[in-house]
Structure 1
């Protein structure tokens, strides 16, 4: 498959444990004949041309779950990140000062205009599945490219013959979108009856992901709310990705909130850290509030986290406090057994 056809990912075959996005070797610089079966981070990888195996041999696919980003039944892209084989991140300011761009959106549009063979769906997929919560896609894409894309050695300009302006930028994003399509997190969770609006255990989510992809994932939360799921890969033959076990299982509590998307853009959840829980009053009297942690005994009990400021509340679920979010306004009551917390 040529690189230029990668963006046709919507018609690719079903997910497999080994994800292959093959790059036709003839498109590489003639000095680089890629060995077919040597994986990045494996014995002998250091002797393989950097157009064939990435210098940063561990690749992390990060998919995020934020209200207002993308379709209600899809995770969206955060990034495709090359890391060292030990899991350390690349340089914070990227790997090639000459390819740090602040106009990635324009460069992608220009590449699509210059190469009519690329998929007409590519840009629509970018805006659908790789959108920014602050509504500035170009800034988001430029950051991801400059910090991470420039560190992918297999798509450096000298790896293509002939050299085509902005093909490296296009290849980074189209490959990432294709990899995301092959590893659809929402579908993996839904296959095990885990849907937004629930409070699943981390172990049940890990089991669902492992059933679909053969390995577990890194699952991260913000304030106890699901925010991001990461899958880890090694690479062979320039652009064939093999999924591997994660270096970390994430930072979520045992039971987490998997909220329904509201449909309106909003920033990621923000935790209000306090040394003592706040209190406030309402017509019904003093309202217990503040982030609740640890075990609880009254199933269904709800306590406002930040009445009047946030839309979050803690709910007693299966013996543990779980952070929840309202899709609209929040109503707080002094009786923590009152269920009508969301307006």
Structure 2
């Protein structure tokens, strides 16, 4: 039976050796680099907006079963170093595969869903593995799926009358009013510009404490650092003016509104 702390994998030549994760906590009083992060960013993206972020119109695909907000990743911030040799295999997520394919799909034709999950685990998940509940590939993905359920963006927006449209643009203030009780005031609404230079809603970055709760405001945290992991083409949606919330078009994912 697995015990806590779990083993962390570290590279030593061509072999992966086991090392105690307890060292991450600095029990000997020395400065440690593992588990140095203070909060995480849970990122959800809107498929129609993601497609607008791509330069090549042939790259994007939205699977037929995908009709709502999808997971981009869960990213520890301010990480100096993390274990980079803890692999994930298809068997690790087999029991979650159906749910992951629906809520964490790859939106790139050139990248399989498992390749996407593998990248997210190796770049970000392994950095979070010093925290119970995230301390294995299976637990990391299970937690992400639970967060997706908790942050029911579709339901909150629909209740506020904010629905995908090619005709109606939205103001940031009305979107924040609808989402503030759900995602807190440390989150960021991000947009991209489409080929017609329209501002289009792309994704939401939700700041969470180490115990995965909203509203953490640790003294000394630099708010700008919350976005340092998982950089993308997204930028904060305009505080003044409006932006679009494009509908998903499975047949024409890159041009849902012409």
TM-score, L = length of structure 2:
0.65
2:119 to 143, 164, 167: 143
Q: 8 Å contact 1:207–1:216 — kept in the other structure?
A: no
Provide the aligned C-alpha RMSD in A: 3.3
Contact 1:199 1:255 in 2 (8 A): yes
Selected match of 1:172 from 137, 140, 143:
140
Partner of 1:130: 104
Deviation at 1:263?
2.1
Query: How is 1:275-290 mapped onto 2 (pairs within 5 angstroms)?
Result: none
**2:46 paired residue number:** 65
Question: Which blocks of at least 5 consecutive residues in structure 1 are unaligned?
Answer: 1-25, 31-45, 85-89, 113-121, 161-165, 270-310, 312-324, 331-343
Distance in 1 (alpha carbons) for counterparts of 2:105 and 2:76: 20
Shift of 1:262: 0.5
Give the C-alpha shift of residue 134 in structure 1.
1.9
Which residue in the other structure is 2:206 paired with? 231
Q: Aligned pair in 2 of structure 1 residues 200, 245: CA closer, same or farther (>3 Å)?
A: farther
Relative distance call for 1:27 and 1:206 in structure 2 (3 A) is farther
Q: Distance in 1 between matches of 2:191 and 2:27?
A: 38
Partner of 2:136: helix, strand, or coil? helix
Divergent runs of 4+, >4 A = 46-49
The DSSP-based 3-state class of the residue aligned with 2:214 is strand
1:77 partner SS: strand
Instruction: Decide which of 81, 105, 119 is 2:90's aligned counterpart.
Output: 105
Give the TM-score normalised by structure 1. 0.50
Residue 265 and residue 151 in structure 1: after superposition, are their counterparts in 2 closer, same or farther (change >3 A)?
A: farther
Partner secondary structure for residue 193 of structure 1: coil
Cα–Cα, structure 1 residues 201 and 169, in superposed 2: closer, same or farther, change >3 Å? same
C-alpha change, 1:148 and 1:262, in structure 2 (3 Å) is: same
Q: How far apart, CA to CA, are the structure 2 residues paired with 1:182 and 1:134?
A: 26
Relative contact order higher in (CA < 8 Å, ≥ 6 apart)? 2
The structure that has the greater radius of gyration is: 1
Q: CA deviation at 1:187?
A: 1.6
The structure with more helix, counted as a fraction of residues: 2
